[in-house]
C-alpha cells in the first residue's frame, strides 16, 4: 500500500511540476508586458525600451516543453510576432514608434492569453477609441498607454479574463 501511494505521489509530482513552471514563466512574461505598458503610460521611452528588452529575454527563456501541446502550438504561432514588436519597442527611444508597435504587441499577447492561461489573477482587455487599439491591464482603472497624460483615462474595458 505504501508503494502504491509513493508511486501515485511521484506521478502527481511529475505532472504538477511543469504546470507550476509554466505559470511562473507566463506570469513573468505578463509582468514584463505590464512594465512596458506602464512606461508608455508615463511616456518614458527609455524605460519602455529597457522593459521591452526584458520581455524579449523572458520570451526567449520560455520552456515550451513543459506546456501542453495545444498551448505550445499557440505560443509558437505568436512567439515571432511578439518578439518582432518587443524588439522594435526596445530599439527606439521614439515614443510614437513604440506605441505603434505596442498596439500589435498587445493584440498578439491577448491572443496568447486566450489560448494559454498566463496568470491566475484576472486581467482586463482595454480599448482606446481614439487610437482604435487595445491593451492589457492588471487593474480595472483605465491608464491609457497610447496617449499617456494627454488622455490618461481615455478608454474602456472590453473584456475581463479570469
Q: What is the pLDDT of residues 109-139, one digit of tens each?
A: 999 999 988 888 999 999 999 999 999 999 9
> Which pLDDT does position 117 carry in this prediction?
86
> And the C-alpha cell for 16?
504538477
Q: Are 95 and 48 in contact (CB under 8 A)?
A: yes
Residue in the block written with cell 518614458: 44
CA nearest neighbour of 110 among 134, 140, 84, 83: 134
On whether the 2-119 domain is CATH 1.10.150, my answer is no
Q: What is the pLDDT of residues 64-95, one digit of tens each?
A: 888 889 999 999 999 999 999 999 999 999 99
Q: Hey, which residues does 135 pair with through a beta bridge?
A: 126
Q: Hey, which residues does 133 pair with through a beta bridge?
A: 128
Amino acid at each position: 500500500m505504501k508503494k502504491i501511494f509513493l508511486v501515485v505521489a511521484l506521478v502527481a509530482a511529475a505532472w504538477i511540476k511543469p504546470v507550476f513552471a509554466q505559470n511562473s514563466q507566463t506570469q513573468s512574461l505578463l509582468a514584463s508586458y505590464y512594465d512596458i505598458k506602464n512606461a508608455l503610460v508615463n511616456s518614458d521611452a527609455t524605460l519602455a525600451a529597457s522593459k521591452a528588452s526584458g520581455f524579449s529575454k523572458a520570451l526567449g527563456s520560455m520552456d515550451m516543453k513543459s506546456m501542453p501541446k495545444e498551448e505550445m502550438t499557440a505560443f509558437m504561432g505568436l512567439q515571432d510576432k511578439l518578439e518582432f514588436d518587443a524588439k522594435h519597442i526596445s530599439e527606439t527611444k521614439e515614443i510614437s514608434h513604440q506605441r505603434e508597435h505596442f498596439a500589435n504587441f498587445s493584440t498578439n499577447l491577448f491572443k496568447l492569453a486566450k489560448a494559454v492561461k498566463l496568470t491566475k489573477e484576472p486581467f482586463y482587455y482595454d480599448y482606446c477609441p481614439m487610437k482604435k487599439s487595445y491593451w492589457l491591464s492588471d487593474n480595472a482603472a483605465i491608464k491609457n498607454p497610447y496617449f499617456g497624460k494627454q488622455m490618461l483615462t481615455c478608454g474602456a474595458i472590453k473584456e475581463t479574463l479570469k
